[in-house]
């Protein structure tokens, strides 16, 4: 009994001394800031920053390899936290959210055949260019939702991917996954999104889908932030100032209803709730009616002004010429 | 009779058309000539809208070394040059020719020398100019196959007449009706490659074709250096796959990632060989091919010799049209490796060996179940891969692991999907993996 205790105790002592020595000799200096930074990160290990997990990113930040704003899910909180730990000034970043630039679900975008294969957009995209006639239409098989760590991508009943802005952290995993390059990351201040990616001519787009951008340029006339890029309208301004937002008319003027105004409707509701579409149509109608009334009033005022002027100095046929531009305005 | 490991025995259904002599269809009123009818760079359009063209005139020049010219297949006026539906499923730039009904040919340039006397460089040049590609379905430009790198020698030329794909009988009819052209083709390719041995490989289910070929090969054997023979192979799918064919005939295994020339062999389809003879002797470009129109949803299945560019719709009309029940699925090629079509407006292209129309009775949509680890796919795989493992990697996007276990060696024959009791589309998973691996490699190449 005693021998056993002595032997085991002795072995334990030798082992213990060995461990103490080893921990002193082979001690690895770990920057304490890495642990601290790791604590302020969201801990989702989404990989959106391009480093292996949150800890990998924390190490990269401390070493100066990564920017403190690279953690999209962490947002401003993480940036402020990292800045405080590193003792530097926080970088200003505007959080980004992902948006699927297509609204052609099964009700709107036509399909050319029944796809009966594995539920992966990358596979479907390869078979005859995908089952949607539109070469840049969302195939709705959910490859983007499979890579989302935050459960932010919804595939609707009518087969289209929609991103819930409230859940999206802007990590960009879905952007990489989409074989058709339909998902973009936009600053949070972009409340207006153009939900189409097709850059073909309007006549062709109309054949594919009832809600495709036909490059009519009406929205671009409504806001300086929207510009035409070839045959598609894009919100081109990086960050939209609060005092000069995109007017809601930019969305209402669009006949196919391609433009989503998030100040009025959430993207998910826009894609799934028919009541939302009805409401949009009513508002668009009201807006167009109001515009027409304004135009008519203007025209009338102009005509009256002319009529008042005409009798004393202008001949009747000259007056006719003057009326033409007013008529064109009214078109 | 040698064979290869794995393989399956689907229902062949060749009786539908095997006994029907090839019928020549009149040139179409409007021919659609796509610029991509081969593997490699698409051809470049060299005519303009409104041009008058004659049959056999080049309308698209080869777009590179691995490419092939395409020719007008009717005479008439170029109606339009635009994107048109293509058997690949995508819209492809095509020259649309409105026929004048004359079928006036360009002046062909027959070679005065005997077939086996024509200088070798002229043979290769004529084959390139005639736009000949692999007619078995892979459509690899033939002149490229005939010009291997200097350090490779070819000792055996194999003509592939296995036609293991169910339903199809186009090659069978060709071997039966034009055995002389096939045998001459073998002699020609053997001479070009300097091969000592030439084999025509035919599956045992075509005894009439074997007999006809043996007679022709016997007539030729005295006049050529190479030893020519007809070999009979067991009936098993995919007997006609290049690597399986070489293994069954010669016992040589093409190394992973390698080509038949790495084991000193060269394989051409029998139809390709016959076209090569016509190109070399008569200077005749590839403007027509034999297409088997078959399946249970077409009224009178038949073998048709048609001009390339003829809409599939016209082929079906020539075979009595669809059955009253209507078609459920239209496939360009055979049931195992063919491509389902979404419209019958697609044209016949150089690689269209068959048009298969299936009725509702034969087309089912099955929800795939979970893998039950039965191992059927492994037993059937002629490349000795583990398809079940590949699917696991595919489902989880583990492309590097899939590459490690040989994803790129998959020949996409479809044996695994055919035999899967859970109806898992295994081939589609592997195809996805292959594309992703190749994309990754291309990215790496760009980066370095």
pLDDT tens sequence across B12-66: 999 999 999 999 999 999 999 999 999 999 999 999 999 999 999 999 999 888 9
Any CB–CB contact under 8 A between A123 and chain B? yes
On whether the CB atoms of residues A218 and A253 are closer than 8 A, the answer is yes
Any CB–CB contact under 8 A between A203 and chain B? no
Q: What is the DSSP letter of B89?
A: S
CATH, domain A29-93, list 1.10.760.10, 1.10.15.40, 3.10.20.30, 3.40.50.970: 1.10.15.40
Q: Are residues B380 and B278 in the same domain?
A: no
Any CB–CB contact under 8 A between B88 and chain A? yes
Task: Pinpoint the alpha helices (H) of chain A.
Answer: 2-25, 32-40, 53-63, 75-86, 121-126, 143-147, 173-177, 202-208, 218-222, 249-252, 267-272, 274-313, 316-329
Q: How many CB atoms lie within 10 A of CB B139?
A: 20
* Residue B391 in domain: yes
Q: Are residues B248 and B130 in the same domain?
A: yes
> A136, A139, A143: which is closest to A115 by C-alpha?
A139
**The total number of structural domains that make up chain B:** 2
User: Dihedral through CA A308, CA A309, CA A315, CA A319, nearest 10?
Assistant: -80
**Rounded to a whole number, what is the distance in Å from the CA of B432 to chain A's nearest CA?**
6
pLDDT tens-digit profile of A265-315?
999 999 999 999 999 999 999 999 999 999 999 999 999 998 888 766 555
Q: How many CB atoms lie within 10 A of CB B296?
A: 18
Q: Which of A104-118, B157-171, B174-188 has the lowest mean pLDDT?
A: A104-118
Distance CA A233, CA A303 (A): 36
pLDDT tens-digit profile of A226-268?
999 888 988 888 888 888 888 888 899 998 999 999 999 999 9
> B121, B94, B90, B125: which is closest to B109 by C-alpha?
B125
Query: For residue A114, which residues of chain B lie inside 8 Å, CB to CB?
Result: 365
pLDDT tens-digit profile of B115-146?
888 999 999 999 999 999 999 888 999 999 99
Any CB–CB contact under 8 A between B90 and chain A? yes
DSSP string, A31-74: -HHHHHHHHHS------TTSSSHHHHHHHHHHHTSS-TT--TTT
- Asked if the Cβ–Cβ distance from A118 to B428 is below 8 Å, we say yes
Interface test with B, best of A115, A117, A201 (most B CBs within 10 A): A117
ipTM of the complex: 0.84
> A191, A200, A209, A213: which is closest to A270 by C-alpha?
A191
Distance CA B414, CA B426 (A): 8
* Residue B275 in domain: yes
- HSE, side-chain direction, 13 A CA sphere, residue B166: 18
Chain centroid to Cα B342, Å, comes to 21
Sheet holding B227-233, edge to edge: B227-233, B197-203, B156-161, B265-269
* Residue B289 in domain: no
Distance CA B380, CA B370 (A): 19
**What are the residue boundaries of the structural domains of chain A, listed by start?**
29-93, 96-272, 278-329
- Asked if the Cβ–Cβ distance from A127 to B89 is below 8 Å, we say yes
Distance CA B96, CA B31 (A): 6
The pLDDT of residue A125 is above 60: yes
> A122, A109, A198: which is closest to B437 by C-alpha?
A122
Distance CA A78, CA A49 (A): 13
Facing residue for A117 by CB, picked from B88, B428, B435: B428
pLDDT tens-digit profile of A57-76?
999 999 888 888 888 888 88
SS3 A111: strand
Facing residue for A128 by CB, picked from B88, B429, B435: B88
Distance CA B279, CA A280 (A): 66
Distance CA B248, CA B242 (A): 10
Any CB–CB contact under 8 A between B305 and chain A? no
Which residues is B82 bridged to in the sheet? B94
Domain finish residue from B282, B312, B338: B282
Query: For residue B340, which residues of chain A lie inside 8 Å, CB to CB?
Result: 113
> B351, B420, B335, B356: which is closest to B136 by C-alpha?
B351
* Residue B66 in domain: no
Residue written as tokens 């030729």?
B220
- Asked if the Cβ–Cβ distance from A128 to B339 is below 8 Å, we say yes
Q: What is the DSSP letter of B382?
A: T
Which residues is B201 bridged to in the sheet? B160, B231
- Asked if the Cβ–Cβ distance from B89 to A120 is below 8 Å, we say no
- A82-86: which pairs have CB atoms within 8 A and are 24 or more residues apart? A82/A37, A82/A40, A85/A33, A85/A36, A85/A37, A85/A40, A86/A33, A86/A37, A86/A61, A86/A62
Identify the sign of the CA torsion B408, B409, B411, B416: negative
On whether the CB atoms of residues A260 and A270 are closer than 8 A, the answer is yes
Beta strand B156-161 with B265-269 is parallel
Distance CA B134, CA B68 (A): 11
Which residue from A minimizes the CA distance to B328?
A114
The pLDDT of residue A322 is above 70: no
Any CB–CB contact under 8 A between B364 and chain A? no
3-state secondary structure A197-210: CCCCCHHHHHHHEC
Any CB–CB contact under 8 A between A118 and chain B? yes
Interface test with B, best of A111, A114, A123, A134 (most B CBs within 10 A): A123
pLDDT tens-digit profile of B182-202?
999 999 999 999 999 999 999
Query: For residue A120, which residues of chain B lie inside 8 Å, CB to CB?
Result: 432
- Asked if the Cβ–Cβ distance from B90 to A129 is below 8 Å, we say yes
Any CB–CB contact under 8 A between B340 and chain A? yes
Any CB–CB contact under 8 A between B152 and chain A? no
Query: For residue A127, which residues of chain B lie inside 8 Å, CB to CB?
Result: 89
Number of DSSP helices (H) and strands (E) in chain B, helices first: 13, 17
* Residue B153 in domain: yes
Any CB–CB contact under 8 A between B429 and chain A? yes
DSSP string, A144-179: HHHH-TTS-EEE-TTS-EEE-TTT-----HHHHH-T
Domain finish residue from B223, B255, B282: B282
On whether the CB atoms of residues B115 and B188 are closer than 8 A, the answer is yes
SS3 B335: coil
* Residue B322 in domain: no
- Asked if the Cβ–Cβ distance from B436 to A122 is below 8 Å, we say yes
The pLDDT value recorded for residue A325 is 46
Q: Which of residues 37-96 of A touch B (CB under 8 A)?
A: none
Facing residue for A118 by CB, picked from B91, B339, B425: B425
Helix (H) or strand (E) holding B305: strand B302-307
Q: Please report, for residues A308, A324, B118, the alpha-carbon distance to residue A305 in angstroms, rounded to integers and kept in the order given.
A: 5, 15, 93
Domain finish residue from B261, B282, B303: B282
The pLDDT value recorded for residue A329 is 45
**Rounded to a whole number, what is the distance in Å from the CA of A133 to chain B's nearest CA?**
10
Q: Are residues B137 and B273 in the same domain?
A: yes
Q: Please report, for residues A31, A45, A88, B313, the alpha-carbon distance to residue A34 in angstroms, rounded to integers and kept in the order given.
A: 6, 15, 15, 68
Query: For residue A117, which residues of chain B lie inside 8 Å, CB to CB?
Result: 425, 428
Q: Which of residues 85-114 of A touch B (CB under 8 A)?
A: 112-114
- Asked if the Cβ–Cβ distance from A122 to B89 is below 8 Å, we say no
Expressed as residue numbers, the domain containing B400 is 376-447
Helix (H) or strand (E) holding B249: helix B242-250
Name the pLDDT band for A317 (thresholds 50, 70, 90).
low
Facing residue for B432 by CB, picked from A112, A114, A123: A123
**Rounded to a whole number, what is the distance in Å from the CA of B406 to chain A's nearest CA?**
19
Query: For residue A204, which residues of chain B lie inside 8 Å, CB to CB?
Result: none
Query: For residue B431, which residues of chain A lie inside 8 Å, CB to CB?
Result: 123, 126
Any CB–CB contact under 8 A between B412 and chain A? no
* Residue B392 in domain: yes
* Residue B327 in domain: no
How much is the pTM? 0.83
The pLDDT value recorded for residue A235 is 87
Segment B380-407 mean pLDDT:
94
On whether the CB atoms of residues B174 and B274 are closer than 8 A, the answer is yes
> B224, B270, B220: which is closest to B245 by C-alpha?
B270
Interface test with B, best of A118, A119, A124 (most B CBs within 10 A): A118
Any CB–CB contact under 8 A between A290 and chain B? no
Any CB–CB contact under 8 A between B425 and chain A? yes
Distance CA B300, CA B283 (A): 35
Residue written as tokens 């029940």?
B325
Distance CA A317, CA B14 (A): 85
**Rounded to a whole number, what is the distance in Å from the CA of A125 to chain B's nearest CA?**
10
Q: Are residues B276 and B409 in the same domain?
A: no
Task: Look up the CATH number of the domain holding residue B195.
Answer: 3.40.50.11540
Any CB–CB contact under 8 A between B329 and chain A? no
More confident residue, A10 or A239: A10
Segment B245-272 mean pLDDT:
95
Q: What is the DSSP letter of A100?
A: E
- Take residue A219 and report the two structure tokens written for it: 């929205």
The pLDDT value recorded for residue A188 is 87
**Rounded to a whole number, what is the distance in Å from the CA of B290 to chain A's nearest CA?**
24
- Asked if the Cβ–Cβ distance from A122 to B432 is below 8 Å, we say yes
Name the pLDDT band for A324 (thresholds 50, 70, 90).
very low
- Asked if the Cβ–Cβ distance from B339 to A129 is below 8 Å, we say no
- Asked if the Cβ–Cβ distance from A118 to B88 is below 8 Å, we say no
């Amino acid at each position: 009994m005693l021998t056993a205790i002595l032997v085991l105790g002795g072995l334990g002592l030798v082992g213990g001394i060995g461990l103490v020595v080893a921990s002193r000799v082979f001690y690895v200096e770990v920057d304490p800031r890495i642990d601290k930074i790791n604590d302020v990160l969201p801990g989702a290990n989404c990989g959106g920053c391009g480093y292996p997990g949150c800890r990998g990113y924390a190490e990269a930040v401390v070493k100066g390899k990564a920017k403190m704003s690279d953690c999209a899910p962490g947002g401003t909180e993480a940036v402020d936290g990292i800045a405080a730990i590193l003792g530097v000034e926080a970088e200003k970043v505007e959080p980004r959210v992902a948006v699927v630039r297509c609204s052609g679900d099964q009700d709107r975008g036509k399909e050319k055949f029944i796809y009966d294969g594995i539920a992966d957009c990358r596979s479907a995209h390869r078979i005859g260019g995908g089952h949607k006639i539109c070469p840049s239409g969302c195939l709705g098989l959910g490859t983007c939702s499979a890579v989302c760590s935050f459960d932010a991508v919804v595939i609707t009943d009518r087969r289209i991917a929609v991103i819930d802005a409230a859940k999206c952290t802007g990590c960009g995993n879905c952007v990489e996954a989409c074989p058709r390059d339909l998902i973009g990351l936009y600053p949070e201040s972009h409340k207006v999104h153009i939900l189409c990616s097709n850059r073909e001519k309007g006549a062709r787009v109309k054949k594919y889908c009832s809600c495709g951008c036909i490059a009519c340029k009406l929205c671009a006339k409504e806001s300086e932030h929207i510009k035409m890029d070839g045959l598609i309208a894009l919100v081109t301004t990086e960050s939209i100032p609060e005092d000069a937002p995109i007017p809601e008319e930019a969305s209402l003027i669009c006949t196919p209803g391609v433009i989503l105004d998030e100040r009025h409707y959430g993207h998910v509701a826009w894609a799934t709730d028919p009541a939302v579409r009805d409401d949009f149509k009513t508002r668009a109608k009201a807006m167009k009616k109001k515009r027409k009334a304004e135009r008519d009033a203007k025209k009338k005022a102009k005509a009256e002004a002319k009529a008042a002027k005409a009798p004393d100095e202008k001949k009747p046929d000259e007056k006719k010429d003057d009326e033409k531009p007013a008529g064109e305005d009214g078109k | 009779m040698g064979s290869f490991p794995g393989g399956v025995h689907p229902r062949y259904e060749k009786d539908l058309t095997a006994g029907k002599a090839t019928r020549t269809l009149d040139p179409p009123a409007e021919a659609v000539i796509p610029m991509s009818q081969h593997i490699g760079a698409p051809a470049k359009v060299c005519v303009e809208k409104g041009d008058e063209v004659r049959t056999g005139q080049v309308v698209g020049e080869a777009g590179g070394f691995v490419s092939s010219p395409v020719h007008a297949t009717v005479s008439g006026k170029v109606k339009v040059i635009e994107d048109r539906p293509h058997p690949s499923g995508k819209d492809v730039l095509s020259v649309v020719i409105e026929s004048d009904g004359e079928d006036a040919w360009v002046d062909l340039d027959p070679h005065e020398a005997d077939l086996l006397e024509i200088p070798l460089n002229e043979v290769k040049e004529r084959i390139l100019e005639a736009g000949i590609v692999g007619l078995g379905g892979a459509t690899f430009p033939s002149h490229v196959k005939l010009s291997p790198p200097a350090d490779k020698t070819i000792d055996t030329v194999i003509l592939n007449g296995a036609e293991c794909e169910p339903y199809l009988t186009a090659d069978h009819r060709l071997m039966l009706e034009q055995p002389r052209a096939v045998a001459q083709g073998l002699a020609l390719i053997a001479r070009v490659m300097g091969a000592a041995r030439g084999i025509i490989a035919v599956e045992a289910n075509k005894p009439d074709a074997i007999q006809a070929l043996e007679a022709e090969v016997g007539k030729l054997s005295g006049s050529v250096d190479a030893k020519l023979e007809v070999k009979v192979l067991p009936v098993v799918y995919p007997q006609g796959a290049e690597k399986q064919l070489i293994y069954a005939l010669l016992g040589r295994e093409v190394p992973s990632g390698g080509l038949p020339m790495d084991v000193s062999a060269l394989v051409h389809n029998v139809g390709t060989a016959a076209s090569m003879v016509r190109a070399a002797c008569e200077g005749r470009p590839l403007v027509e091919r034999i297409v088997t129109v078959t399946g249970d949803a077409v009224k009178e299945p038949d073998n048709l010799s048609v001009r390339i560019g003829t809409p599939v719709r016209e082929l079906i009309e020539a075979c009595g049209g669809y059955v009253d029940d209507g078609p459920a699925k239209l496939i360009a090629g055979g049931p195992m490796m063919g491509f389902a079509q979404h419209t019958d407006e697609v044209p016949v292209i150089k690689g269209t060996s068959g048009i298969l129309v299936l009725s509702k009775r034969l087309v089912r949509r099955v929800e795939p179940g979970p893998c039950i680890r039965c191992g059927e796919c492994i037993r059937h795989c002629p490349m000795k891969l583990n398809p079940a493992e590949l699917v696991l990697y595919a489902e989880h996007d583990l492309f590097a692991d899939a590459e490690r276990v040989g994803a790129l060696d998959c020949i996409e024959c479809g044996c695994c999907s055919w035999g899967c009791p859970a109806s898992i589309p295994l081939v589609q998973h592997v195809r996805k993996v292959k594309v992703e691996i190749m994309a990754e490699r291309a990215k790496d190449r760009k980066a370095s």
